[in-house]
Every structure is written in structure tokens, then in C-alpha cells.
Homo-oligomer: A and B are copies of this chain.
Amino acid sequence: MDIEAFRKAGYQAIDRICDFYYSLEQRQVVAPVQPGYLLEQLPDAPPEEGEDWEVIADDYQKLILPGMTFWQHPSFFAYFPTACTFEGVLGDLYSTSTPNPGFNWTSSPACTELEMAMMDWCARLFGLAEHFLNSSGTGGGVIQTTSSELAIVVTVAARSQYVRRHPGTHLEDLVMYVTSQTHSLGVKASLVLGLQCRTLDVKPEDGYALRGDTLRAALEEDIAQGKRPFFLIGTVGTTSSGAIDCLDEVGEVLKDYPDVWFHVDAAWAGVTLACPEYRGIARLKDINTYATSVGTNLHKWGLVNFDAALLWVKSRKDLTDALDVTPEFLRTKQSEAGAVIDYRNWHLGLGRRFRSLKIWFVLRSYGVKGFQAYIRRCIELNEYFVSLIKTSPTFALVTKPSFALSVFRIVADPVALSLGVSLGSDALNDLNRTFYAHVSARGEILLTQTQLNGTFCVRFAVGAERTRKEHIDKAWTLIQEEARLAVKEWADSIRGGR
């Protein structure tokens, strides 16, 4: 494709993306396709001769778009949001127009320097302490691919630090800590690295937050057994319920265990730190006081297109000591002089995309006020959903709402009362599974299931940029309808079974 053909194809792509967004709300949020739908429409091998772009572009519309789940749909309330803004699209477009692997300053100076600057911009946007800024010269920030890779990087740095301090440590003796509510990134990091991971209990009465006493008891027990605690992940905003660990209690306990690296995973909720009124709840002070590292994804609830997982560390040397491999062909004058950051030694790979560009576009176009307004609107919409739940006898929240996330379920009492039966927890779980299956089958809104200490429940997360009050109302209507049907179905089966 030559330059003028690209101009034509590029205009067409822009127009079709515009068309897509005009039509988004009329589309189904969940792709109405069955496994294999695409595989059976594609040939087994690439064509021998090149095809015309028009045909290829049309096939994207015909074959791909109908098979996508639209995370940007205003009725998407599942998982956590995946951001998409036009500023983010433009950032990715410019970035991919001059691809480069950005592994050191020389390989593309703008990539390194804009990343250094954007990580500091975001640190200031979120109120992080100076020791996390690149401008501190000792700490710093880097963009990772996702929170899972980020967690591996931090676990490696923590392991490496521990082994440097305690030479001869057996890897089998090392133990890291997560809670039953920590994202799978913790267990995955331990699996990837072949290290022990202990899952700490959290209680419903604590809102599923990790308490200091629980941690201290585990540390004491493990050390008594000869284990070597080296790493803990605390969470601000767990995936299942948005729980926020008691970072102050945990941080105080860890004062007695200075070899334990304390990472705070704020992948989803970290963006709330942009709003001064949420800094208390999101524990900014504790992060700044106790955390060795902290991570937040702009590609979830932060308006920047996937991927952009931000990691800050108090000591950049802990990353480079763990990850620096510099062969001859990567040595450069600028790096040897220490004048610039070589980001390849701050992550798992070597090459990396130019991701800071979309962050720059988004933050400048929205400004701090625009970013705050978006976060506040999502939280207000969730508060509105919570108010609807609270008026209903059929539903109840399972735990208190967290920012833009609510976890709810059909509750026992009204249903059981109407039937004159007493509902055990298994039966109630089954009823909620049926309800969730009904909602999912409609395909008009998307929610996610989860379990909280054995209780099956349903998550409702607000975050798509186009979601407004009318979409919450629509979702609520659908939820009520499907609950009525599920209860009726279940009641019929009970009566039939008698």
C-alpha cells in the first residue's frame, strides 16, 4: 500500500470508527456468536496473491466487529472498564506510525523522555510522594504492559533484594503474601517465579480488607517454620468487591519486617486519587508512608487505551539491580554516562511501545479537571445504582459499595417468605446463579459473577465513558425482570419437587 492508498484507507478507517461509535448503543454489548463462528469463515492459510484493501476492510466490518464484546458499550458493567477515548486512539495511531522498540534513550529519545515526564505527571495527578517521581533521581515510574507483568517485575525485584541481603537463601524458603481477595496477578507471579505464596484470610466484617493482626500472625508462624517472608501485595480496590486493605496496620507491622517489600496494587481504584476527596478512602497517605512500590492502570478506569499499567518504585536501583542485562550491542554513550533512563532494565522485556504518547494526549485534552469530572461521574452513577438496590426488597448489597463498583445479589428473605420455605446458603447461591445466567443470556447488559467467602454474587462496575443515568435505569429494569423470572423458575422447581 503506497502513501496515497494509505490516505484513502486511513480516512475510511476514521469514518468507520465514527460510524461505529454512532451505532454503538444500538449494538449488543455481548457478541451474539458461538465458539468457532470466525474460524469456520476463514481459510486455513494466507492467500498466495495479495488482496485489495477494500475487500480486507469490508471483511473487518463483516467478520470481526460482529464477533466483539464491546467494553466501551454504555451498558458494559462487567469486570472493570477498559478505557477508550479518541485521544487514546490518536495516541496509538501516531505511535504505531513510527514504531520503535524504545529499549534505551538512543533507540528513540522522545519515547524515553515522554515516559519519564508522563510518569511524573501522573504521580502528581495522584498526589504520590516525591520519592516516587523520576525527578527524584532515586525512585521513579515506568509503564508496564499490564498489572500481571507489573506484579512479576515487582516480585522479582523483591526477591532479588532479599537474596542480596541474605546470600545463600534457598528460593524454596521464600514466601510472598496475598489475600483471598488479591487479584490473580499475585498467584500468577508466584506461579511464574516458582515461589511459595500464602493466601491470607480476610473477613466479611472487615469488608474483606487485610488487617495487621492477620499479617503479623502469618509472618510469625512462617518465620518460626524457617520460611523467609519477602513480599506482600496490598490492594486498594480488589476485583471482587473493591475492598481496600488496612494499609496503615499492615505498614506498621512491616516496620518489624524490613526485608518484606510492600507493593500496593491499585490497578483499578488508583485513579480515584486524582480527586482530593477520595484520597483518604484510597489511602494515599499510607501509600506514601509505607509502600515500596505502587501500581495503577490507566487503561482500566483512567481514560487511556489499553495498555498502560503504571508502576512507581521508591528505589529505581532495586529494579535495575534485579533486571539489568546489558550486552555489548546495547551499550550507548548516553546510558554509560547515566544521563538517561534505560527503561529496558525496568521491565521484563527488551523492546517496548511508545505508550506515553496517549497518556500525554489524554491528560492534556481532559486536563486535571476533566479527569476528575469523569471519575466523579462514574462514582455518582454507581451511587445511583446503589440507591436503586436499596429500595428493592429482592436485592441487597453483599458488601458496601466501593467507588464505582457494587456487589449485590438476590436475598433470601422475601423469596423464602413468599414460599414459606427456609433457604440455605447453597440454595440461595443456586438461585443467584440462575439469575446471573438469565441476565447474561439477554446480552443487553454485561455484568460479572464472583464469590465472596463462598457467597455467589454479582458485580456491577461503572466506567465506560458513554455510560449515563439512562443506562443505569435500563440495566436496573432488566435486572429486576430477570430476577423475577429466575425466582419464578426456581419457585416452580421447588413446588414441582415437592
Contact = CB atoms under 8 A, between A and B. Distances in A.
Interface of A: 1, 3-7, 9-11, 13-15, 17-18, 20-22, 30-31, 33, 35-39, 42, 44-51, 53, 55-57, 60, 63-72, 79, 82-90, 92-101, 105-111, 113-114, 116-117, 120-121, 124-125, 135, 145-149, 152, 156, 159-160, 163, 170-172, 184-185, 187-188, 191-194, 239-240, 299, 305-307, 322-323, 325-331, 334, 337, 339-340, 348-353, 357, 360-361, 363-371, 448-451, 459
A480 B97 CA distance: 33
Given A17-B97, A18-B7, A110 B64 contact: yes
A348 B351 contact: no
A111 B68 contact: yes
9 contacts: A1-B85, A38-B110, A46-B371, A47-B367, A51-B365, A64-B94, A65-B110, A67-B113, A99-B299
- Shortest beta-carbon contacts, A-B, top 5: A10-B14, A67-B110, A38-B113, A50-B367, A92-B96
B68 A367 contact: no
Contacts of A108: 31, 67-69, 71
Given A6-B90, A67-B113, A170-B172, 19 more contacts: A6-B17, A6-B18, A6-B21, A13-B94, A14-B14, A17-B97, A20-B97, A36-B113, A38-B117, A57-B90, A64-B114, A79-B329, A88-B96, A96-B306, A152-B348, A156-B192, A184-B350, A331-B449, A348-B348
A82 to B, nearest CB: 5
Kindly name the residue among A9, A65, A98, A108 whose own CB sees the greatest number of chain B CB atoms within 10 A.
A98
Nearest to A330: B184
Given A31-B110, A367-B47, A17 B10 contact: yes
A191 B334 CA distance: 24
B185 A350 contact: yes
Quickly give the copy total for this chain: 2
A436 to B, nearest CB: 11
Nearest to A66: B110
A369 B48 contact: yes
A146 B239 CA distance: 28
Contacts of A147: 350
B93 A50 contact: no
Nearest to A356: B64
Contacts of A57: 90
Nearest to A193: B193
B366 A109 contact: no
A82 B99 CA distance: 7
A217 B313 CA distance: 43
Nearest to A111: B68
B46 A124 contact: yes
A14 B3 contact: no
Nearest to A122: B46
A287 B353 CA distance: 30
Kindly name the residue among A10, A57, A99 whose own CB sees the greatest number of chain B CB atoms within 10 A.
A99
